[in-house]
Structure 1
């Protein structure tokens, strides 16, 4: 289920329309990029705003202000007050679900003080594209002046209202997710009952679980949300079946998995301090859980937050270039590629690409290439028909001895030792 679809925008719009009528303030819902997707007819933009937005760069200035305000409100998780690029006082109330920012509510078209000559001087500096300063100043002088305490109170009312709406949606989400978990487990049990061979039914379940666990952590490190989520679903079902639903064991294994996932998220580019705080909060939540489905729900929630806070976040600066570089590496890791090859593919300098990787992934391009190769080697090791030498060559290493050295550095054991542990 898409988180955005959970948010009842029609209900939220009704709330904001009533708020707008009661306060006389203009209200808009904007996404993370500052783009409006909810404007209301109850209170239109003031004449000053309409005048500024009619200029060539007016709408772009508004959007940039809204985007910055949304980011700050999400960061601090509270209403954020600021002056827009046209000089007006505005505030943003964050809209987030499961720790993921969806956008904000922008409220504006007032002043907190009576305009003076310094205000008008700054207004001219902020809006150099305006030719008729007299008209701009006349319209600014018509803006309502609202006491800061009243403005703060209005912000607090909206913040509480939005929070309650998000909590309601989280309850809906949890019910949907726990139902899905129950259905998956029931299907898995039915499939196993249909198997004829008792030995095949038992199989080597725990070995399969550990193998799936390695894949799951690998996808977290690489930032592959779809595959990480898919592997997590299978992992949780296998865990339930293997433990026959024993909650104490499930809780222990879930805690272990969460700790390993947190480390994988940090290796994938998430901020260590943030990840540790999220992990502590998760552990507090599962200590209060009474049902197995609750353990699973909170585990999935934690992983999704990890992935949204790690390297491939949509709103990270230069994400497009880094994403293209990552895709190129994933497609060509088996070849003899270097940073120059990746940079040439993107038509940027190697030094610029190196800076981007440092900023976004906290590693060098060569480190990332090596990480991908080792992760792919781990998968190929599961194929007994391939020798260590063949695996080494398949993932782009020219020297088997160098491959063994790098593999041991990342995995902790030599390739041959790892291969023997799988049998």
Structure 2
């Protein structure tokens, strides 16, 4: 389901309902997984589609088609036309907010040409689970036929409409985010007052802040968006409480943090020129900002865009292979994984994966695995109950001496010295 805080779904459904009545085209709102919902979840489909969906795996076939169309539309940021898995031409209009894909609008259940023997031959090949081909052909013959020009025009009109709607919702979202940040800060302050806890006892000294900041920057370097965003919220609240809401120190810390984020993102493989442009835009906005919550809102947007831009490049060029490889490594770094294991998981050759990593992340696969292991080791070092040897083993190093050498190269000091510096 698309978050109703992000998109005015009721208004979008009304627009699509009127569009469907005016054009006679069937439409559906789907999420990134190809699942339709809302007003159009139970909308009447054409007889052909009802017949296909009544067969084993028929609904799943539709969902897979919608998911693929949504992914492609999001990649190219424009209406995407293709043949669905039942044989019909469909198109998808992307629903995006700040470059993030939320889903798409699917328009289908028509033909662009009169069915001929080649069409029916392909129909049989695409639907082997159907036994009654005569019935399949009959329902296909009932489909409306519209010209490609009319089909393209309908796609363009809907694309413009959705873009205007998303621009409006973006303004609404900014107000929602500001309100949420106000609520988080207020809740934290009230909780601290209720428990009568001191700043230091609660971990709101700058030493604690800098420690959390280091963790946050590690998530940026690793491209771990969920943990980076969660960590950023914690930093915001801690910074506000420690600064007692004073704008000047908060503004200075936010500007400083943005610079650190940009460098961490580049170290993680983001394109330097793009990141610097985003940083300049952020600095211009923050300098003109007068409200405290807006500082946090602009910072959150900046972090999201920095993390998304490198992922978007990977997906457009290589269907997210590098991103999938990163995810696999993050899940299995504690095991004895090698480039061959990662490549096998993605069904590509190790040499091809190696080229992709050098192009997109500017390092080798093994370098990335090592980087992840060291970053995780730094986190585990905070647990005094774990020895250096246990930390080494937990993050996938087979030899403690090798771990010490690698850790020293990345962090600048030996593991034991680093451990002692935390006490």
Normalised TM-score (structure 1): 0.72
Alignment of 1:255-334 (within 5 A): 255-265=255-265, 282-283=282-283, 285-286=285-286, 289-304=289-304, 326-329=330-333, 333=334
1:84 aligned residue: 84
Matches of 1:408 and 1:158, distance apart in 2:
56
Matches of 2:346 and 2:49, distance apart in 1:
44
Deviation at 1:122, TM superposition (A): 3.9
Q: What are the superposed Cα offsets for residues 359-416 of structure 1, whole Å, 9 maximum, x if unpaired?
A: 7996777555533442244345557899978866776657665434312332345557
Other structure's SS at 1:82 match: strand
Normalised TM-score (structure 2): 0.72
Change (3 A) 1:381 1:45: closer
| 2:339 pairs with 1:338 | no
Match of 1:125 among 101, 122, 125: 122
Alignment of 1:143-182 (within 5 A): 143-182=143-182
Matches of 1:322 and 1:416, distance apart in 2:
29
Matches of 1:91 and 1:351, distance apart in 2:
29
Change (3 A) 1:318 1:225: closer
Matches of 1:368 and 1:138, distance apart in 2:
56
Other structure's SS at 1:217 match: helix
Asked if 1 retains the 8 angstrom alpha-carbon contact of 2:204 and 2:238, the reply is no
Matches of 2:155 and 2:346, distance apart in 1:
47
Matches of 2:17 and 2:41, distance apart in 1:
8
Deviates more, 1:300-309 or 1:215-224: 300-309
2:64 aligned residue: 64
The runs of 5 or more residues in structure 1 that have no matched partner are none
1:115 aligned residue: 114
Q: What are the superposed Cα offsets for residues 191-210 of structure 1, whole Å, 9 maximum, x if unpaired?
A: 59997989x69x99433332
Change (3 A) 1:387 1:121: closer
Matches of 2:21 and 2:161, distance apart in 1:
16
Asked if 1 retains the 8 angstrom alpha-carbon contact of 2:115 and 2:141, the reply is no
Q: What are the superposed Cα offsets for residues 116-158 of structure 1, whole Å, 9 maximum, x if unpaired?
A: 74xx414422432366666655554544343444433432333
Deviates more, 1:413-422 or 1:6-15: 413-422
Change (3 A) 1:285 1:104: farther
Change (3 A) 1:380 1:302: same
| 2:18 pairs with 1:21 | no
Count the aligned residue pairs.
409
Matches of 1:163 and 1:153, distance apart in 2:
16
Asked if 2 retains the 8 angstrom alpha-carbon contact of 1:24 and 1:43, the reply is no
Matches of 2:82 and 2:271, distance apart in 1:
27
Deviates more, 1:408-417 or 1:169-178: 408-417
